[in-house]
Amino acid sequence: MSVSAAAPAPPPAQPGAVTGAGPGPAIDLHDLRRLFTGRGAATKALDGVSLQVAPGEIFGIVGRSGAGKSTLIRCVNLLERPDSGAVRVLGEDLLGLDGTALRERRRRIGMVFQHFNLLSSRTVADNVAFPLEVAGVPRAERAQRVAEALALVGLADKAGAYPAQLSGGQKQRVGIARALAPRPRILLCDEATSALDPETTQEILALIKRLRDQLDLTVLLITHEMAVVKEICDRVAVMERGQVIEEGRVFDVFTRPRHPTTRRFIADTIGHFIPPGTVARLPAPREGEERRLLQVLFAGPNSTRAVISEASRRFALDLDIISGRIDEIAGEPFGLMALAAYGSPEQIDAATAWFTELGLTVTPVDAPTLQTKAEAA
Amino acid sequence: MIPWLTPMLEQLFVEAAIETLTMVGGAAAIAIVFGLPLALLLHATDRGGLAQNGLVNRPLGLLINAVRSTPFIILMVAIVPFTRLVAGTSIGTGAAIVPLALASTAFIARLFETAFREVDRGVVEAARAMGATRLQILWKVLVPEAMPGLIAAVTVTLVSLVGYSAMAGAVGGGGLGDLGIRFGYQRFMPEVMASVVIVLILFVQGLQSLGDWLVRRVRRR
């Protein structure tokens, strides 16, 4: 922690427009900048990041390690102070607050950590009681709130255990109960499932989602796993080198990624992998024809239309389906298909244009990994 | 039963043992009382600490190192004026506690600081995120989380104090070490010397076992 940080900057007059009607955003970050200078080299951990998280929303920030997401989430409760910018939480500017007021606000922002960060010397119940203790909640009320929080995460029977006696998933449940004990409006999740196995990850994500619905929480989470975003987020921002490079509804970002980095992230979760041998066994194109591998993403109103056979007839193409799958993101179904198209280059272009017109997303892919050309470039 | 153990020698032995216990116990108690806040101050003012402050941290670190690097026998005579100021005299068991306490305060402060450094930074960060004040973090997080390390540090300090206290004979502090030198060495009574050594070995073993047992009890990992 940097105690020697410069005096907090006054909040800007207009911290970014809020889209939609109703109450303002629960979290409103405006043009955050943070420079880390260490060992000679300076890194821009945050390079002008603005984000708004609506009340009741689960907002995901995804990025590789070092992208700045960790610094960003720490700016929301000012564990990390930005060099410049504005941090508004529940409509209040945090940077202008003094120490006492800031600590009081932090108690309304729960935080869950990758490595749980439980006190090993305290029992589960005493860990959950910690935030209430530091806030000066009387003992009797503390006991009741602890029981309540442990019941929420399904660990009422572990109240007397020590963290070392718990599994990873149970520890994270304690971490969540501890974050919720002071009844916060906002929950920050710092790679909350990254230290857990896939099954436990699902459990914890389901728990976070249920708690959001039950307690009307606003959740901001950071992760390096697109699968986490796909599982529970409503909206997502992709970060790279201290900047948000793409942001939007999860379904839109997954089905129509614009930035190559986003595409790479998505390929890990919903991409295709076609063994090189399969591509090698595809028939060679005839004289004067061309073979092109395409990835077609079906989403929206035309996703149920028989577009493949229609395209084949219209453009006199042979369309060979190499692989296909149906998946669901945030409750919305979509289909993904890899095709080998055989025909004259003009006709293939025309078919691609027609697909796009119908609202399908067509990406040319390179054999054998079916990596998109944009990435290979 | 033991031919050389005359009633007078026996009484000297008991007195010396009490003197050793007084010096070791007294110095350790003072060292803990002063060493704990010093270590917390060192840890908090260190780079990346809760109240990073080089102007406090560096001079304090230097002072502690200076005390630790001065050979105890020299420290003892060098601070005689200070000892006289504090204890009213510079001779005797009570007076010997002053240099012993000074040396072991510096010693234990470093050991305590190391124990605090081993507390997971994430736990401290979590406490900050929960709105804990810096004092609450010190007393409710750092001290309890470092407790096994703190107890181990006290054990090590007690054991070294047993060794240091033998030198207290130089300022008339008495104790078992002094008895061993005066009777065993200067009066050619090797059996006294051997007995002193055996008693001290048993004493140190006991301390170590007690310390280890306590560490195991408070460790919840």
CA distance A212 to chain B (A): 19
Whose CA is closest to B101, among B164, B185, B9, B148?
B164
Range A117-128 average pLDDT: 96
Among candidates A77, A103, A121 on the partner chain, residue whose Cβ is nearest the Cβ of B220? A121
Q: How far is the CA of A148 from the CAs of A143, A166, A220, A295, in angstroms?
A: 9, 19, 23, 50
Which of B120, B130, B218 is the mutation pick for testing A, counting most A CBs within 10 A? Answer: B130
Give the ranges where chain B is alpha helix by DSSP (H). Answer: 7-45, 54-69, 72-78, 80-87, 93-117, 121-129, 134-136, 143-167, 176-179, 190-218
Residue A43, CB half-sphere, CA atoms under 13 Å: how many? Answer: 11
Mean pLDDT of chain B: 92
Instruction: Count Cβ atoms below 10 Å from residue B29 Cβ, excluding itself.
Output: 12
Q: What's the pLDDT band for A74 if we cut at 50, 70, 90?
A: very high
* Residues of B in Cβ contact (< 8 Å) with A189: none
Q: What is the pLDDT of residue A20?
A: 42
What does the alpha-carbon distance between residue B115 and residue B40 come to, in Å, rounded to a whole number?
10
CA distance A302 to chain B (A): 48
More confident residue, B98 or A11: B98
Cβ-Cβ pairs closer than 8 A, A with B, add up to 76
Q: What is the pLDDT of residue B131?
A: 94
The residue in chain A having the minimum alpha-carbon distance to the alpha carbon of residue B123 is A117
Under DSSP, the state recorded for A163 is G
Model pLDDT for residues A182-229, shown as the tens digit of each residue: 999 999 999 999 999 999 999 999 999 999 999 999 999 999 988 899
Q: What is the pLDDT of residue A374?
A: 43
pLDDT at B39 over 90: yes
CA distance A233 to chain B (A): 23
Among candidates A1, A106, A162 on the partner chain, residue whose Cβ is nearest the Cβ of B130? A106
Domains identified in chain A and CATH numbers: 27-268 (3.40.50.300), 274-376 (3.30.70.260)
Q: What's the pLDDT band for A274 if we cut at 50, 70, 90?
A: low
* Residues of A in Cβ contact (< 8 Å) with B130: 106-107, 111, 130-131, 134, 178, 182
Q: What is the pLDDT of residue A7?
A: 43
CATH number belonging to domain B18-173? 1.10.3720.10
Among candidates A4, A107, A118 on the partner chain, residue whose Cβ is nearest the Cβ of B131? A107
Q: How far is the CA of B34 from the CAs of B39, B59, B93, B106, in angstroms?
A: 9, 17, 20, 9
Q: What is the pLDDT of residue B150?
A: 97
* Residues of A in Cβ contact (< 8 Å) with B125: 79, 113, 117
DSSP A297-359: EE-SGGGGS-HHHHHHHHTT-EEEEEEEEEEEETTEEEEEEEEEEEE-HHHHHHHHHHHHHTT
* Residues of A in Cβ contact (< 8 Å) with B218: 121
Q: How far is the CA of A259 from the CAs of A202, A262, A263, B212, in angstroms?
A: 28, 5, 6, 58
Q: Do A117 and B122 touch (CB under 8 A)?
A: yes
pLDDT at B75 over 70: yes
Q: Do B131 and A134 touch (CB under 8 A)?
A: yes
* Residues of B in Cβ contact (< 8 Å) with A182: 130
Q: Cα angle vertex A283, ends A264, A364, to 5°?
A: 25
With the C-alpha atoms ordered A235, A238, A239, A245, is the resulting torsion angle positive or negative?
negative
What does the alpha-carbon distance between residue A221 and residue A175 come to, in Å, rounded to a whole number?
14
Q: Is the pTM of this model over 0.90?
A: no
pLDDT at A18 over 60: no
Residue A95 one-letter amino acid: L
Annotated domain spans of chain B: 18-173
Q: What is the pLDDT of residue A118?
A: 97
Q: What is the pLDDT of residue B91?
A: 86
On whether the CB atoms of residues A152 and A102 are closer than 8 A, the answer is no
On whether the CB atoms of residues A351 and A313 are closer than 8 A, the answer is no
What does the alpha-carbon distance between residue A49 and residue A187 come to, in Å, rounded to a whole number?
20
Contacts with B33 (C-beta within 8 Å, 6 or more apart), sequence order: none
On whether the CB atoms of residues A351 and A317 are closer than 8 A, the answer is yes
Residue B31 one-letter amino acid: A
Torsion of CA A340, A341, A342, A344, to 10 degrees: -150
Instruction: Count Cβ atoms below 10 Å from residue A123 Cβ, excluding itself.
Output: 18
Q: What's the pLDDT band for A367 if we cut at 50, 70, 90?
A: very low
Q: What is the pLDDT of residue A15?
A: 39
Range B107-121 average pLDDT: 96
Residue B104 one-letter amino acid: S
Model pLDDT for residues A124-148, shown as the tens digit of each residue: 999 999 999 999 999 999 999 999 9
